[in-house]
Structure 1
Amino acid sequence: MPHAETLSTEAAPRTRLRWWTELPLILLVYACYSAGRLLVGGDVSKAVDHGLAILKIEKALHLNAEHPLNRLFTREAWIGIPADFWYASLHYAVTPAILIFLFRSRSRHYQAARTWLMTSTFIGLIGFTLLPTCPPRLLADGHGFVDTMAQYSSYGWWGGDASAPKGLGGLTNQYAAMPSLHCGWALWCGVILWRFGGTRLTKVAAVVYPLVTTIVVMGTANHYFLDAVAGAAVMGAGFLLTPYVMRVANRVRVQLVARFAPGAAGSGGTQTSAPASIVSGGCQTSTGERIPWQREPRAEPSAAPQDAGDSAAAPAR
């Protein structure tokens, strides 16, 4: 993956990442995404029309796997209940866990992977805005879908409003189905696990996790197959845009540091304080200050003046 190697090396910043800056950033981006997803409600009748159009296209292309999977999940509780737990929890647990793994063990690649995920997520939000889509479970009964999350709601914390906890269904937009970021995020997790996991077990998980997630979102009637395809396309677009997003972000960061950092240029653009003496790469100290474990400088003995008579002549050879 030469392009992925470029993401992790050339576009990576020189600064050291800190968890106390990364965590608020990720939470802020996720809050913006959740709020935007909620605000983009869309027209319900238009969303239903989009859902029916997708279903019609799938039937024409013989891609309609949602009906047999949904019948299986509805009939066999031992499949449907674990699938509902999979849909309601892993999306919010596996992705942060892999981000933490990257941050702690593969920090050189973390920022590119994180930027890829965030960029793709915002592209998905644009998709929700432009194409509100009714998921299969919300179509009229005549279309043959059963909402397994509602059917098995007594086994979990969710109600009849997708994976939202009971009583909080009004805080989610149920017509944000296209693209499926359940599938998109699962694909991101699979790529990261395949590339950086390092063991045979992680490579198996890299394949199984996105594949099973795709089956789950269709079997629970939360997404169409084409939603999953769109989720993969969104992740691909985010991957291609990541180097450019990182360059812009790094340029903005450098400008902000130059503008607001202590000792930076004042209103007239000139420095207001004398620069600190540079001791080693990136480590600055003020005059008289010592870095830890720095040895005290050894004083050189002053040369005493000598009389001409005190100087001994060099012996002749």
Structure 2
Amino acid sequence: MMISTTALRVAACRGRLRWWSELPLIAVVYTLYSGARLLVRGEVSDAVRHGADILHDEQLVHLDPERWFNRLFANHAFLGVPADFAYASLHYIVTPATLVWLWRRHPVHYRRARTWLTISTLIGLVGFTVLPTAPPRLLNGGHGFIDTMALYSSFGWWGSDASAPRGMGHLTNQYAAMPSLHVGWSLWCGILLFRHGRHWPVRTLGVIYPIATTLIVLGTANHYLMDAAVGILVMGFGFALAGPALRAVDVLSIRLGRAGKPGPASPASTAGAVR
């Protein structure tokens, strides 16, 4: 009985990738993301200035829809409350769920997708470090934004400190708006769901999720349109670097494997062993 090439590739992938090695790797990346985001707070005055500059630049080219969406969400609780719940939770649910789905259903594509996400996240951390940025909701009142997370905090577990649980605002960095990894990660999920989903509901979710996330981050005044655009750009860089990074890792693994194997025994040593 002949075995298909795809089946052999799946078996090879499952042989190389084990959940007990993947989980710690993902945990390390997530810890780096959370820790670096917390530690690299930057100067508040610089972050506020950067946020105001971004808004000013958007206004110059008439691409500043944040206020309109923010007023819509602030004036209509039936939009604002679900948006706040989505902002505070889906980022941390859908992304790992997509990873697990790939692992279980499409293991051939899992390794590249995981590497793509990892590299993009690390690039995002560089952005948080280099350009600390206050989100629209933390600009002064003259800019006209309403913090919907604070406005509707009685409906959820968050307080006035973004999506952090009440009393834990000191454990998050609110000045890491640029780039928007909410948008970046949702785009990653959407592309994978659309590309590898076998049923139309999964593929439809792949289209809707990144679009909805973009509208949510704008309407809740947690990101600027430019943050979303740079988040998409970051994912593009991560995708471009994933292939070369995997090839480099594979080459290094092969070389290390060869270096660790004992070489063939010399005739003299073999003769000595016989005697």
**2:247 is aligned with what amino acid?**
R
- Write the distance in 1 (CA, Å) between the matches of 2:259 and 2:63: 55
SS at match of 1:94: helix
Opposite residue 204 of structure 2, the aligned amino acid is: V
Letter in 2 for 1:173: N
Matched, 1:246 2:246: yes
Residue 232 of structure 2 aligns with which residue?
A: 232
Correspondence 1:216 to 2:207 = no
Do the aligned partners of 1:128 and 1:176 also contact (CA within 8 Å) in 2? Answer: yes
User: Residues 253 and 158 from structure 1, CA distance in 2 versus in 1: closer, same or farther, beyond 3 angstroms?
Assistant: farther
Question: Could you say if the C-alpha distance between residues 205 and 21 of structure 1 is closer, same or farther in structure 2, counting changes exceeding 3 Å?
Answer: same
Which consecutive aligned stretches of 4+ in structure 1 deviate over 6 angstroms post-superposition? Answer: none
Cα distance in 2 for residues equivalent to 1:159 and 1:253: 47
Post-superposition offset of 1:96: 0.5
Amino acid at match of 2:104: R
How far is the alpha carbon of 1:62 from its aligned partner?
Answer: 1.1
Partner of 2:130: 130
TM-score norm. by structure 1 comes to 0.77
Post-superposition shift, 1:249? 2.1
Shift of 1:252: 3.4
What CA distance in whole angstroms lies between the structure 2 residues aligned with 1:14 and 1:138? 46
Larger fraction in helix: 2
Assess if the C-alpha contact under 8 Å between 1:47 and 1:131 holds in 2: yes
Letter in 2 for 1:247: R
Q: Structure 1 residues 255 and 208, CA, compared in 2 at 3 Å: closer, same or farther?
A: same
Matched residue SS, 1:163: coil
Measured in 2, the distance between the counterparts of 1:246 and 1:14 equals: 16
Deviations 1:22-63 (A, max 9, x none): 111101111012111111111111111110111011111111
Alignment partner, residue 52 of structure 1: 52
1:164 equivalent to 2:164? Answer yes
1:165 partner letter? P
Tell me the SS of whatever aligns to 1:215.
Answer: helix
Secondary structure at the residue paired with 1:239? helix
Question: Aligned partners of 2:131, 2:236: CA distance in 1, in Å?
Answer: 19
Q: Which has the higher contact order (CA 8 A, sep 6+)?
A: 2
Q: 1:259 to 1:201 in 2, by over 3 A?
A: same
Q: Deviations over 1:216-242 (max 9, x none)?
A: 000000000000000000000000001
Q: Does structure 2 conserve the Cα–Cα contact (< 8 Å) formed by 1:13 and 1:250?
A: no
Name structure 1 gaps, 5 residues minimum.
Answer: 1-8, 273-317
Check conservation: 2:128, 2:176, Cα contact below 8 A: yes
2:192 aligns to what?
Answer: 192
Task: Give the aligned length.
Answer: 255
Counterpart for residue 5 of structure 2:
none
- Residue identity opposite 2:62 in structure 1: H
Give the TM-score normalised by the residue count of structure 2.
0.88
Q: Are 2:33 and 1:33 aligned? A: yes
Structure 1 residue 13 displacement after superposition: 6.8
Alpha-carbon distance between aligned partners in 2 of 1:212 and 1:101, rounded to the nearest angstrom: 21
